[in-house]
């Protein structure tokens, strides 16, 4: 009985399966502006600008099946950043595989890291610092604040090399990320290790 089961299982594994070609729908095509901001935390024009900016880096020519469109890659990563939910949930929302979501998050994050120094700048002149201090004071009557700091651990898959470096105090693999924002929630500094 067990031999028959093993034979049938091996035979089933050797059967060639037809490739499934999915129709990747673009959430920008069917969501209204309110839903886009609620789900992805950025407006439609900002997402389109990211797609245009990162098109060369994220476009994948392939001879196999169809590659994920740049807009879907960016939106999958933005959804992950916005919700912090598991990649499997994000994969179900966008009708793609969990490994595709992982690659999207990795690639879009790398694109953002490559351009972040052009947009994220900690002010050093006295006038800019005074504006930020005044903004925080108007919000919460807290004097002499020049930034709000927070950090998080972004869960990652176990890297093949130097795995022990990425294990955090809660015993899972992560990258430590710290951000500093001003009173308008604009990033002034980001450090990820």
Spans of all domains in the chain: 26-117, 120-192
- CB 68, CB 24: distance < 8 Å: yes
Distance CA 57, CA 173 (A): 26
pTM of the predicted structure, to 2 decimals:
0.64
Return the pLDDT at 58: 92
Residue 20 pLDDT greater than 60, yes or no: no
Q: What SS3 class is residue 106?
A: helix
Transcribe 148-193 into DSSP letters. Answer: EEEEEEEE-PPPSSSGGGGB-TTSSBEEEEEEEE-TTS-EEEEEE-
Cα distances from 178 to residues 48, 56, 86, 100, in angstroms, run 27, 28, 20, 26
Instruction: Tell me the pLDDT tens digit for each residue of 104-142.
Output: 999 999 999 899 888 878 888 999 999 999 999 999 898
Is 44 in a helix, a strand, or coil? helix
Task: Report the helix count and the strand count for the chain, using DSSP H and E.
Answer: 8, 3
């Amino acid at each position: 009985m067990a031999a028959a089961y093993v034979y049938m299982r091996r035979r089933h594994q050797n059967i060639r399966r037809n490739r499934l070609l999915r129709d990747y729908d673009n959430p920008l095509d069917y969501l209204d502006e309110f839903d886009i901001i609620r789900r992805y935390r950025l407006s439609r024009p900002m997402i389109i600008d990211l797609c245009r900016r990162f098109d060369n880096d994220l476009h994948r020519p392939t001879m196999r099946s169809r590659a994920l469109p740049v807009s879907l890659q960016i939106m999958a990563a933005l959804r992950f950043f916005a919700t912090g939910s598991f990649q499997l949930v994000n994969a179900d929302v966008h009708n793609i595989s969990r490994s595709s979501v992982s690659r999207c998050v990795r690639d879009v994050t790398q694109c953002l890291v490559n351009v972040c120094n052009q947009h994220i700048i900690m002010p050093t002149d006295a006038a800019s610092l005074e504006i930020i201090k005044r903004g925080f004071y108007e919000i919460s009557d807290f004097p002499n604040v020049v930034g709000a700091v927070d950090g998080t651990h972004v869960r990652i898959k176990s890297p093949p090399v130097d795995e022990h470096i990425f294990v955090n105090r809660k015993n899972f693999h992560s990258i430590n990320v710290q951000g500093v924002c001003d009173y308008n929630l604009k990033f002034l500094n980001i450090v990820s290790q």
